Structure 1
Amino acid sequence: MPSFKVSLLDYGAGNVRSVRNAILANGYEIEDITDPAQIAQAKAIIFPGVGSFGSAMRVLQEKGFDGPLRTYLSAHDRPFLGICLGMQTLFESSDEHEDGRPAIPGLGVIPGKVIKFDSTKIAVPHIGWNGRIVHQESPVLRYVADDEDTYFVHSFYAPVIEENKEWILTTTTYGDQPFVSAIQRGSVVATQFHPEKSGSTGLKVLQGFLEVRIAESLDADIKTETKLTKRVVVALDVRSNDHGDLVVTKGDQYDVRENHKEGVVEGRGGVRNLGKPVSLARRYYQEGADEIAFLNITSFRQGVIEDMPMLQVLEEASKNIFVPLTVGGGIRSYTEPISGRTWSALEVASRYFRAGADKVSMGSDAVHAAEAYVASGGTKTGTTSIEMISRVYGVQAVVVSIDPKRVYIKSKEEVDSKHVVVELGDDQLGPTGERLCWYQCTVKGGREARNICAVTVCKACEALGAGEIMLNCIDMDGQCNGFDLSLMRAVSRAVSIPVIASSGAGTPGHFTDVFSKTNVQAALAAGMFHRREVEIEDVKAAMHAHGTATRKSS
């Protein structure tokens, strides 16, 4: 058994639960650092930074952690592992700082400045599974093969410069931009990728760090570039059944009840039950899902703060699932009807993050925010859910889920010029042969249509601070006829943030189609996996055969 406890520097932002579970999975005990004096006595520190650089450094200063950390790191002989923002804070400065506040310097351990990816050339944030080019021989990677991908989610990166080359353990390329993806000098190690979200590969990185922490130099490079893989996301629609239990369900156009069964009144059966959320999610993780999304479709009577069952689902799932977890449903500001207390969307999201979520997904609230943004002529208030959450946790933590439906037209003149008209493919024409449509956004689970198009909403949400779009289509949902390629093309061309294709998958070929014919970075399915009509390995085999980069399940 390990002879020391791992000291965890949890400064209070984002999903740290998964890091805790990954440490425990490696057989180590954890001691939380709550006082600056503990830093000097620590045997090994893990710093899982989440959020924005400016916010993180401000909190470190306010808590008095920054000075003791610099001292701990200065000799390079004390075991330290920084994760994502925990790596970026080691640099001298960053272009990512809080609006209206002066820039705060980093810890200054590594020379260089953290800068933002160019969104005019590539989708930003960089989200997904990518490889690494090894520049040092390191026991941290002793159990990891060179072709095993790891999970990244970030908008800012540390560029390779002459002054920091001696620190570089690995680099990664996104587009044609190489960046520092891991550093090591002596016992100080840090990764831009998330080991705790990189499946068994990430667990092996943590194992290597905790077992042996001294690196030796290696001059030769083996690879010259890496490639961001396309992600296969599994969605679990979670809601309460008629007995109050949470189940995974699925339906066509959001109708999740069984057909008439004897003894059920009004000709409708109970909520379709396809399994328990935690056990089903664990199965998908083991079968190679790149990400898992829990979408809470239960109608909230009060709000997520009281929704303990869903919080417990996240807590349990994160114990054994080490890929990114997204949760959606009820992430908005609301007032309790009895106490009169108002909870902000930021407080609601924080509960989800602390329970084990890596990203939160917003639907109706995002559409309303986009409407207000457009109506104001593009003015940000700083008070929308998207702005509040992304300001603290970073844009990569905010997913916007859009549920549009087609409005078929014969000509562009039939529709308000503010809506983006899209030309449909030959296999997706309207009921009377219409070749044109615009995609009308809906709210309240598709029950209410709004006078705004999907392309406009997605562009507005990106401007407000969303980091990813989950793009559904009501017309295609549950039909198993493939993704709406016209919609995916229109939105992915209009925004610079990653797009997840959703609604309509029924075969492995639908994934290869959407990846080869549009610019989406990920594709999501639910029912075909729940019913075991198609396995995740079938999808990835088809992608590989088609030449689409995909993560090798380990």
Structure 2
Amino acid sequence: MITLLDYGAGNVRSVINAIEKLGETVHVAASGRDIAEAEKLLFPGVGSFGSMMGILREKRFVEPLLAFIKAGRPFFGICLGMQALFEGSDEAPEEKGLGVLPGRVVRFDVDLAVPHMGWNGISVKQPTDLFYGLGGDEKFYFVHSYHVVADDAAVVLTTTDYGYPFVSAVQKGSVQGTQFHPEKSGASGLTLLENFIRKDRTVSIPPKSPDHTRLAKRIIACLDVRSNDQGDLVVTKGDQYDVREGGNVRNLGKPVELAGRYFEEGADEVTFLNITGFRDFPLEDMPMIQVLKETSKHVFVPLTIGGGIRDFTDKNGRSYTALEVAAEYFRSGADKVSIGSDAVYIVEDYLKRGKATGQSAIERISYVYGNQAVVISIDPRRVYVNSPAETDHPTVVTTIPGPEGQGHCWFQCTVKGGREGRDVDAVTLARVCEKLGAGEILLNCIDRDGTNMGFDIELIKAVKQAVTIPVIASSGAGCEAHFAEVFEATDVESALAAGIFHRREVPIGAVKRHLKDSVEIRL
């Protein structure tokens, strides 16, 4: 029996599914007494440090937690669950940590994208049974903006490099913790969790591990999901956002089956974009919720869901917040939520007011779940001009002339599935969303969607240079070389494709084999 501490924030379903896949039973702690009676305690922390510690104190979990650890029973913290072991965090200076280990949590101070997001390696610093059966060169999934600075080197189990070495796992007696997410780290992560569960493994020789680790570029499979004319949820794909062919919605497969296939083929993440038009409250779209729940049982890499994440009033007059909608997706197995059209409206309001309200969906979700949980999906199209003087929007000199030979363009944001253009450009949208708390940009391109012409490098460069958060390049991939091109020509952290994967024109494995000699990837 494994007891899981669920304090009510984030995706714990994936952790439960991982433990159950290993043949164990999970008991979710609902009270201090449940913690006190636990044999082994797993604490997956999600969101922001201040929100987490506030909830732990409100639920009166702090004293039982400290008593459990002091008694010497096995404890495993994941991400914020590990950070909570220390004295405090710069993310919330007013909140004290558990103080079990000496040290503090600080924000990354690097000339790299923050959050540190993606697959990275570990360098083992002391004997442990946690990595039994692993070779030492595995990569694990990280997603965080803050990291531990330990005052006692003896508690440092592993380090990882991101601009500089930071503490990525700790160990002291029966207490262990990782900054990375084993439940999202594929087979290697499952092995690590199994080693924590089965403490009868006495081998304590650390595996060979690199002295220096490198963050991998991510290859993401995207599944556009919508109801077809028969009312079934299907994976579809559009050409410049038109998903119909011969009058019918293109049906390229079932969402859960395709997601499982991509996990087995080596996808680093899976993204679901629910493009069904909501006629009522999004939470009543239960088939999509069920897709997430079923997928998270078999797919142990990060899952992102987009569609309908906004404030909403249903036909009965009951109001729901975007935070409530996001919470339901997180509880169903999502790790990140993607906000599209609503992000444009939020930025328009910000530009009109000249300041943030603190009440937008981006701000509220990122406060509770952390900025790494909020992805902004931008759907721009090119607007050509003869010179920058013709528009107030930032322009680029383009190597792809306009229909009348124009040599400049700006990138207009759209809403409603690309059907309506707005007076906001992609660069401004990305900058403002980062300021409001978003942790990642999914950068689409209507002009390239479904063309197989390659990614829009000029668009990607313009947005990537404007923000300090990770950017996902999307739209236009038609062959393996297009992935190499976007990674070599820009600083994006990941690249996404859909149709070429769905139709098996370019398998994920073929992309990684093509990249492995020139780009750091996870094999």
Match of 1:251, SS?
coil
Q: Deviation at 1:43?
A: 0.9
Q: Is the 8 A contact 1:15 1:353 kept in 2?
A: yes
Partner of 2:90: 95
- 1:95 deviates by 1.1
Displacement of 1:39 after TM fit?
1.6
Percent identical residues: 58
Q: 2:160 aligns with which of 153, 165, 172?
A: 172
- Which residue of structure 2 aligns with residue 472 of structure 1? 444
- 1:154 is aligned, of 144, 157, 166, to 144
What is the distance in 2 between the residues matched to 1:27 and 1:212? 15
Q: 1: CA distance between counterparts of 2:209 and 2:441?
A: 35
**Is residue 125 of structure 2 the alignment partner of residue 135 of structure 1?**
yes
2:76 is aligned to 81
RMSD value over aligned CA atoms? 1.5
Deviation at 1:218, TM superposition (A): 7.3
Cross-structure match for 1:420: 394
Partners of 2:152 and 2:166 lie apart in 1 by: 12
Structure 2, unpaired ranges of 5+: none
Aligned pair 1:300/2:314, yes or no? no
2:98 to 92, 101, 107: 107
* Contact 2:117-2:142 at 8 Å conserved across structures: yes
**Partner of residue 58, structure 1:** 54
Equivalent residue, structure 1, for 2:219: 232
State the shift of 1:495 in Å.
0.2
Once residues 420 and 226 of structure 1 are traced to their aligned partners in structure 2, the CA distance between those partners, rounded to angstroms, is 37
| 1:325-474 map, 5 Å | 325-337=303-315, 339-377=316-354, 379-416=355-392, 419-425=393-399, 428-474=400-446
User: Secondary structure of the residue that 1:456 maps to in structure 2?
Assistant: helix
> What letter matches 2:54 in structure 1?
R
Deviation by residue 1:403-434 (Cα, 9 ceiling, x = unmatched): 00000111111112xx1101223xx3323433
Report deviation, 1:71. 1.5
Secondary structure of the corresponding residue to residue 294 of structure 1:
strand
Alpha carbons 2:19, 2:193 under 8 Å: kept? yes
Q: Does 1:8 align with 2:4?
A: yes
2:379–2:445 contact (8 Å) kept in structure 1:
yes
Q: Are 1:21 and 1:318, in contact at CA under 8 Å, matched by a contact in 2?
A: yes
Range moving further from structure 2, 432-441 or 299-308? 432-441
Distance in 2 (alpha carbons) for counterparts of 1:191 and 1:216: 19
Return the TM-score normalized by structure 2. 0.98
Q: Any idea what SS the aligned residue of 1:386 has?
A: helix
Indicate the SS of the match to 1:91. coil
State the Cα deviation string for residues 103-123 of structure 1 (Å, max 9, x = none).
11000011111011126x110
Quick check: 2:195–2:201 contact (8 Å CA) kept in 1? no
Q: Does residue 195 of structure 1 match 2:175?
A: no
Determine the C-alpha separation between the residues in 1 that align with 2:363 and 2:21. Answer: 35
* Aligned 8 A contact 1:349 1:360 in 2: yes
> Would the aligned equivalents of 2:131 and 2:207 in 1 still touch at CA under 8 Å?
no
Does residue 39 (structure 1) correspond to residue 56 (structure 2)? The answer is no
1:323 to 298, 301, 313: 301
Name the stretch that deviates more: 166-175 or 522-531: 166-175
- Please list every run of at least 4 consecutive aligned residues from structure 1 whose deviation after the TM superposition is greater than 6 angstroms: 213-221
Specify the code of the residue in structure 2 equivalent to 1:365: D
State the one-letter code of the partner of 1:131.
G
Q: Say if 2:45 is the partner of 1:49.
A: yes
Partner of residue 267, structure 2: 289
**1:221 Cα deviation (Å)?**
8.3
- SS of the counterpart of 1:136? coil
Please say if 1:124 is aligned against 2:82. Answer: no
Aligned length: 523
8 Å CA contact retained: 2:124, 2:206: no
User: Equivalent residue of 2:249, what SS?
Assistant: coil
The residue identity in structure 2 corresponding to 1:407 is V
Match of 2:465 among 493, 517, 522: 493
Q: Which amino acid aligns with 2:314?
A: E
| Contact 2:442–2:474 (8 Å) recurs in 1 | yes
Q: Is 1:140–1:212's contact at 8 Å kept on the other side of the alignment?
A: no
Give the match for residue 482 of structure 2: 510
Q: State the shift of 1:222 in Å.
A: 5.0
Is the contact between residue 136 and residue 208 of structure 2 (CA under 8 Å) also seen in structure 1?
no
